Amino acid sequence: MVFPRSVLVTGANRGIGLGLVQQFLKHSEVQIIIATARDVSKATELNAIKDPRLHVLPLIVTCDKSIDILVKEVEKIVGEQGLNLLVNNAGILSKYTTKSEPSRAILQEQINVNSISVVLVSQKFLPLLQKGAGKSTAPDFTVGKSAIVTISSRLGSIGLNVEGSGWFEGLAYRMSKSAVNQFNRTIAVDLEADGILAVAFCPGWVQTDLGTSNALLTVGQSASALVNSFSKLTKEHNGGYFTRELEVIPF
Ligand code: NDP
């Protein structure tokens, strides 16, 4: 099992992001945990955690200036060792189906948050991840070296979509997650020479504001399985799309 020295989780003030931070805090190998929230002053649960390894910083993923400011702050925190693991977790789900009132705004917002912002956050953190890859003595293509993990969804799988909008009113959400899966595969190939791993995960159906209280899994169950799987990632997983238990999901 390999753990990162430093990790950054977006959208960490609630839901799965908060759960991931809580799991990372259980591992002493993880020395720096950067948890981002849109409004840090309202991130009550994060702010209540008293652990010197945790840094709570603001990030609005749809705002380029906000990303740029965060990169500078993170650079100061991680120093010459760079960043080992970026977890793109922040996301939204708007109900929208083929038969909805046509709305460019809903489609654009969904894709802006769940796909475009993941691309831009990852690109802007690339220099710090490259630094992390160069400095770490952990094995190549592990989260201890340098990795981008994107929290996607099984609903982004085109191959598995036989239900259309039947039981799930998430056309725009599905599209945004399919797009981010394409990004994951592309950046994995593009960064292979840098030794940086890129992997997409589905966390399962989880009890959060997005997943609703009807969901099957608690945040703790999903987040602990995810962090366990992150620690097992190797080169063979690069560019892949997996369940929280590291089972392959068809694209
Ligand atoms: P939540 O709704 O509980 O939390 C979403 C998080 O994303 C919040 O911290 C929210 O911040 C943040 N966020 C949303 N928009 C932005 C933005 N523009 N800038 C910065 N942060 C933003 O969702 P989950 O925890 O359930 O979802 C986390 C990830 O897991 C998502 O990518 C989701 O698609 C994925 N997922 C979830 C499933 C589930 O069943 N829950 C299933 C499959 C995938 P704020 O509090 O400020 O709104």
Could you read off the pLDDT of 64-80 as tens digits, one per residue? 999 999 999 999 999 99
Cβ–ligand 1 distance for 156 under 6 Å, the answer no
Query: How many angstroms is it from 177 CA to the middle of ligand 1?
Result: 13
Residues 238-251: what's their mean pLDDT?
Answer: 98
Q: What's the CA gap between 197 and 193, in Å, rounded?
A: 10
Task: Give the tens place of pLDDT for each residue, 97-112.
Answer: 999 999 999 999 999 9
Q: Which two tokens stand for residue 79?
A: 């120093």
- Mean pLDDT over all residues of the chain? 97
pLDDT at 166: 81
92 lines ligand 1 (CB under 6 A): yes
Instruction: Give the up-direction half-sphere exposure of residue 43: CA atoms within 13 A in the CB hemisphere.
Output: 23
**What is the helix, strand, coil percentage profile of the chain, to 5?**
45, 15, 40
Convert the pLDDT of each residue in 187-224 to its tens digit. 999 999 999 999 999 999 999 999 999 999 999 999 99
The rounded distance, in Å, linking the Cα atoms of 113 and 228 is 26
The encoded tokens of residue 166 equal: 């039947």
91 C-alpha to center of ligand 1: Å?
A: 4
pLDDT at 165: 86
Where does the pLDDT of residue 167 fall: very low under 50, low under 70, confident under 90, or very high at 90 and above? confident
Q: Rounded to the nearest whole angstrom, what is the distance from the C-alpha of residue 72 to the centroid of ligand 1?
A: 24
Distance (Å) from CA 135 to ligand 1 centroid = 31
Distance 114 CA to ligand 1 centre (A): 9
Q: Does residue 146 surpass a pLDDT of 90?
A: yes
State ipTM: 0.99
Binding site membership of 90 for ligand 1 (Cβ less than 6 Å): yes
* The model's pTM: 0.98
Ligand 1 atom nearest 154 alpha carbon: 43
Query: What is the distance in A from the centroid of ligand 1 to the CA of 92?
Result: 5
Location of structure tokens 């999901």: 249
Give pLDDT tens digits for 34-71: 999 999 999 999 999 999 999 999 999 999 999 999 99
Q: Is the pLDDT of residue 91 over 90?
A: yes
Kindly give the number of the ligand 1 atom that is closest to the alpha carbon of 17.
25
Ligand 1 contact, 69 CB (< 6 A): no
Residue 62, classified by CB atoms within 10 Å of its CB into exposed (0-12), middle (13-18) or buried (19+), is middle
